[in-house]
A and B are shown apart, each in its own frame.
Chain A
Amino acid sequence: MSDITTKMIIDCVREVARRDVSGDTDIFTAGVDSLAVLRCRALLKKWTGVKVPGHVFFGGRTPEGIVDLIGADNAGR
């Protein structure tokens, strides 16, 4: 899971929600919803082969926060 970078999250938000966000933008405030998370997750899976659980998006909230949570989830395993 550590293959997923902040840039990938920013790219997928741009692709699915047509929003430009930076590493510390709250993507939900920027207009991302459950369906956008669904699409984002599918894109990340296409790019990396990894299916990210939905709760890391809602827990992380910003691209950086999401990547941190993915790392924390990984480290805990």
Chain B
Amino acid sequence: MLVVEDSPLYSAEFFATGDPWSYLAQLRREAPVSLHRRADGYEFYALTKHADVHAAYVDHTRLSSAYGTMVDGSYLPRKDSASGRMLIVADQPEHAAIKKPVKAGGFNRTMLARIGETVRRNIRTALDGLAVGDRVDFSRVVAPALPMGVLEVLFGIGATDAGHLLERTRTMIGYRDAAYVGGSSLDSLVDAQLEVLDFIEELIDDRIASGADDDMIGMLAQLVASGAMSRDVALLNGLNVAVGGNETTPHTASLVVTTIDAERDQWRGVVDGRVGADVATQEFLRWTSTNSYVQRLSVADFEVGGQVIPEGSFVTLWNMSANRDEDVFERPDEFVVDRRDNKQIAFGAGMHRCIGAPVATLEVQTFVEELAEWDRAFEVVAPPRRLYSNFMLGLTELQVEVVKAKALVA
């Protein structure tokens, strides 16, 4: 098996300034299962093929989520106090017990409909505020409109509070990136995290007092009130949903804009109605692969891709690589807006598949629909700045000029 010392996969800088797509393509061809080491002794296996990544997702009994889903993401590189109590780092049976109320309270059909309306309203407001000739940083002016409506509905808060919450979770995830935090990054991370927890706790207390259970936080609050869920579990999962929702789709939206700018002929198909927004959305999700990988820990020997990964190993599942796998996708390195039977795996698979996937898909599709309807368009006017992260593929700056729609797709 290929062993890579000082692997670029550890490097946030490589993902911000290098070409991780090509590196992963090479691994996929030459060493689909490989081992990556760092000077301090930390090591992980990397899975790059779609079939292997899928197999790893589904085998949740041998590959545990409880030891943190990011390389170095946990405060300590072992089980931490959230393990088994927060969805993203819980195995069975705890996972199912938490997932049920979060899904029922936050991601049911009624909530989805309300979220869809709110997201569309926010996107329209953001787009309507822009005139031809305006130059703005899309990543700051428009992109946050996607998750904002989700927060408003799930947490039952106004746009102002949702905006504050977005700023805090941005600091938590992007704390290594100077674009999001100045000065001491770890201080900013812990302060932001505690403020989010404080805020969620206030909301839970409000809902316990009022008895309202008509949104996700209300549902969790009533479980706390009845003793069916501990206050800590409610807090941790409120945090999990806020972070998971906030720090993903704005990046996807920014990358949708750069993709449209680069693929104007294909975008015309969506504008003309020849390609459905739903079909285009699936390809945008494949192409952007916002969450690049997740980590697991093998709690038993795990056979994958003809190799055996020994018990006690960190294993990384590279979504972004699986989404360009030549065995699954024709012309994998091309954006194909009307791609049929799209097996993109941007949200993972199996029990841990992103609980917010339907909401995120709805956000992106709504954005695509509104852009296609808009009589204006975004033209990228400067090289975008990529986020310093190997975990989230996103942009911290995207300078665009608002032009007439006809100027983009003549």
Report A's interface with B, CB cutoff 8 A: 33-35, 37-38, 41, 53-55, 57-59
What is the CB-to-nearest-CB distance from B231 to chain A, in angstroms, rounded to a whole number? Answer: 9
> Given the complex of chains A and B, what is the CA–CA distance between A37 and B195 in angstroms?
11
Query: Is B201 in the interface zone, CB < 8 Å from A?
Result: yes
Which residue of chain A is the closest to B80 with respect to CB atoms?
A: A33
- Whether the pair A35, B80 counts as a contact (CB closer than 8 A) is no
CB within 8 A of A55: which of B75, B184, B201, B236?
B184
Chain B contacts for A38, CB-based, 8 A? 194, 197-198, 201, 235
- Whether the pair A34, B184 counts as a contact (CB closer than 8 A) is no
Task: Give me the 8 closest cross-chain CB pairs, A-B, nearest first.
Answer: A55-B187, A54-B194, A33-B81, A54-B190, A54-B191, A58-B190, A55-B190, A38-B197
A-B pairs with beta carbons under 8 A, tally? 42
- 12 A-B interface contacts by CB (under 8 A): A33-B80, A35-B81, A38-B201, A53-B191, A53-B194, A54-B195, A55-B184, A55-B190, A55-B191, A57-B190, A58-B187, A59-B187
- Whether the pair A34, B191 counts as a contact (CB closer than 8 A) is no
Query: Is B186 in the interface zone, CB < 8 Å from A?
Result: yes
CB within 8 A of B186: which of A37, A53, A55?
A55
> Given the complex of chains A and B, what is the CA–CA distance between A58 and B232 in angstroms?
20
> Given the complex of chains A and B, what is the CA–CA distance between A46 and B34 in angstroms?
53
Which residue of chain A is the closest to B195 with respect to CB atoms?
A: A54
Chain A contacts for B201, CB-based, 8 A? 38
Query: Is B342 in the interface zone, CB < 8 Å from A?
Result: no
Chain B contacts for A54, CB-based, 8 A? 190-191, 193-195
Which residue of chain B is the closest to A28 with respect to CB atoms?
A: B75
Which residue of chain A is the closest to B81 with respect to CB atoms?
A: A33
> Given the complex of chains A and B, what is the CA–CA distance between A64 and B77 in angstroms?
26
What is the CB-to-nearest-CB distance from A45 to chain B, in angstroms, rounded to a whole number? Answer: 10
Residues in B50-64 with C-beta less than 8 Å from chain A: none
> Given the complex of chains A and B, what is the CA–CA distance between A26 and B190 in angstroms?
17
> Given the complex of chains A and B, what is the CA–CA distance between A34 and B190 in angstroms?
8
- Whether the pair B191, A35 counts as a contact (CB closer than 8 A) is no
- Given that A33-B81, A35-B232 are known contacts, is A58 also in contact with B198, CB under 8 Å in the complex? no
What is the CB-to-nearest-CB distance from B375 to chain A, in angstroms, rounded to a whole number? Answer: 47
- Whether the pair A34, B187 counts as a contact (CB closer than 8 A) is no
> Given the complex of chains A and B, what is the CA–CA distance between A37 and B232 in angstroms?
12
Chain B contacts for A59, CB-based, 8 A? 187
Chain A contacts for B232, CB-based, 8 A? 35
Give per-residue flags for B67-91: 1 if the beta carbon is below 8 A from chain A beta carbons, else 0: 0000000010000111000000000
- Whether the pair B80, A37 counts as a contact (CB closer than 8 A) is no
- Whether the pair B194, A41 counts as a contact (CB closer than 8 A) is yes
Which residue of chain B is the closest to A52 with respect to CB atoms?
A: B194
- Not counting A38-B198, A59-B187, a sample of 14 additional A-B residue pairs whose C-beta atoms are within 8 angstroms of each other reads A33-B80, A34-B75, A34-B81, A34-B190, A37-B190, A41-B194, A53-B187, A54-B190, A54-B193, A54-B194, A55-B188, A55-B191, A57-B190, A58-B190
- Given that A54-B190, A55-B190 are known contacts, is A35 also in contact with B184, CB under 8 Å in the complex? no
Q: Which of B81, B188, B194, B201 has the most CB of A within 10 A?
A: B194
Give per-residue flags for B17-30: 1 if the beta carbon is below 8 A from chain A beta carbons, else 0: 00000000000000
> Given the complex of chains A and B, what is the CA–CA distance between A59 and B186 in angstroms?
9
Which residue of chain A is the closest to B188 with respect to CB atoms?
A: A55
What is the CB-to-nearest-CB distance from A63 to chain B, in angstroms, rounded to a whole number? Answer: 17
Chain B contacts for A37, CB-based, 8 A? 190, 194
Residues in B200-247 with C-beta less than 8 Å from chain A: 201, 232, 235-236
Residues in B153-193 with C-beta less than 8 Å from chain A: 184, 186-188, 190-191, 193
Which residue of chain B is the closest to A38 with respect to CB atoms?
A: B197
Chain B contacts for A41, CB-based, 8 A? 194
- Whether the pair A58, B80 counts as a contact (CB closer than 8 A) is no
CB within 8 A of A34: which of B186, B188, B194?
B194
Chain A contacts for B195, CB-based, 8 A? 54
Q: Which of A34, A58, A59 has the most CB of B within 10 A?
A: A34
> Given the complex of chains A and B, what is the CA–CA distance between A25 and B270 in angstroms?
62
What is the CB-to-nearest-CB distance from A52 to chain B, in angstroms, rounded to a whole number? Answer: 10
Chain B contacts for A58, CB-based, 8 A? 186-187, 190
Chain B contacts for A57, CB-based, 8 A? 190
Chain A contacts for B186, CB-based, 8 A? 55, 58
Chain A contacts for B187, CB-based, 8 A? 53, 55, 58-59
